[in-house]
Amino acid sequence: MATALRRAAAQTLKIGMIPADGIGHEVLPAARAVLLALGSSIPKPEFIDLNAGFEYFTRTGTALPEETIRVLTEECNGAMFGAVSSPSRRVAGYSSPIVALRKKLDLYANIRPVASVSGTPGSDVDMVVVRENTECLYIKEETQIMTPNGKEARATRLITERASRRIGKMAFETALSRGKQNPVLTIVHKSNVLSVTDGLFRETVRGVPQLEEVQGRYDGVKIEEQLVDSMVYRMYREPATFDVAVAPNMYGDIISDAAAALVGSLGLVPSVNAGDNFVMGEPVHGSAPDIAGKGIANPIAAIRSASLLLTHLGHLEPAQKINDAVDAVLREGKVLTPDLGGRSRTQEVLDEVLKKM
């Protein structure tokens, strides 16, 4: 993250804003507002509006313009992404822009903290899912042929030692950064069935502490393993037992969404897409077409993602100020959007967070 940190030390913090689809256009303005509310505690934010998404594709035939990539790589310290629509049917020429952004910017880690707030309903959970972000089934290499028995479809799954090693290092670093007395890293896999691909992931992550460049650094981190199906079961039965979990791309996507149910809503769960040179905040929720345009989307995941962005850019105290304000709003429980059982609108929740700040 060194390059991003050097950029972030400048007098202006240039942030690419990519609302993309659906409620992305409603929650990203909330992230912008809280960053502006921090005033002089961070470099002056300058926001650059950028295009991407399925809606943009339907207008232009392009889901991720080259200009968006150019601006991000040449002008921005970091970025915020709203939400993307993912059609369940095949649409000729369309491919997910968030997947492409992760690959083009080499944002190999999707870091998703899931934590309950003391004094609010829900399970006692405080965990981070570190999801490998560039390979697995998300390389999107699929084929379909006709056989005498009908159509046959296949998907290629890619797991490499390089990607597994660097996501493993990111996961160990995440475990150390949380400041827990006895950090635990859980490797999530299914190597009892997928012994070659998941086997490589498991063995590579387990081998990270033996790498010459980190000798002794991770000695205090306990390594555990969990099969992905039993991981979901244990998260619901014993959520407080997990600290940091590291997983291949698809498993990480599934278990982090499942973990969101433990704290009440996907609308609460933030993430960052992180690489060695760039970072992009992204709420975990999707584009929510059923509520898009109604003004009732929960902005908290986007607000928390802005806080994570600041954390990864080295602005720790302002990031914590945002988190404390959000926690206070949730703890009071008076101003909540419908996904949390309330009747408040997006703007009302934002106003309350700004008031607490």
> Of 108, 190, 198, 251, which one is the catalytic site residue?
190
Residue 111 neighbours by CB under 8 Å, 6+ apart: 128, 129, 130, 131, 170, 174, 271, 272, 274, 308
Catalytic: 229? Answer: yes
Supply 355's token pair: 């008031």
Q: How many whole angstroms separate alpha carbon 199 and alpha carbon 225?
A: 12
Is 190 an active-site residue? yes
Encoded tokens for 91:
């649409």
Answer yes or no: 49 catalytic: no
Phi first, then psi, for residue 225 (nearest 5°) are -130, 155
Q: Name the one residue in this structure whose structure tokens are 């597994």.
A: 164
Catalytic site includes residue 339:
no
Structure tokens at 357: 């700040």
Is 253 catalytic? The answer is yes
Q: What stretch of H or E contains 83? A: strand 78-83
What are the helix (H) ranges across 20-160? 24-37, 54-60, 66-75, 97-104
**Per annotation, catalytic residue among 21, 198, 243, 253:** 253
Contact 253, 112 (CB under 8 A): no
Residue in 229, 233, 236, 294 annotated catalytic: 229
DSSP-derived secondary structure letter, 93: T
The residue annotated as part of the active site, out of 103, 126, 180, 257, is 257
Residue 188: in which H helix or E strand, if any?
A: strand 184-189
Task: Name the residue among 24, 158, 57 with its Cα closest to residue 103.
Answer: 158
Q: 14, 21, 56, 138: which one is catalytic? A: 138
Enzyme catalytic residues? 138, 190, 229, 253, 257
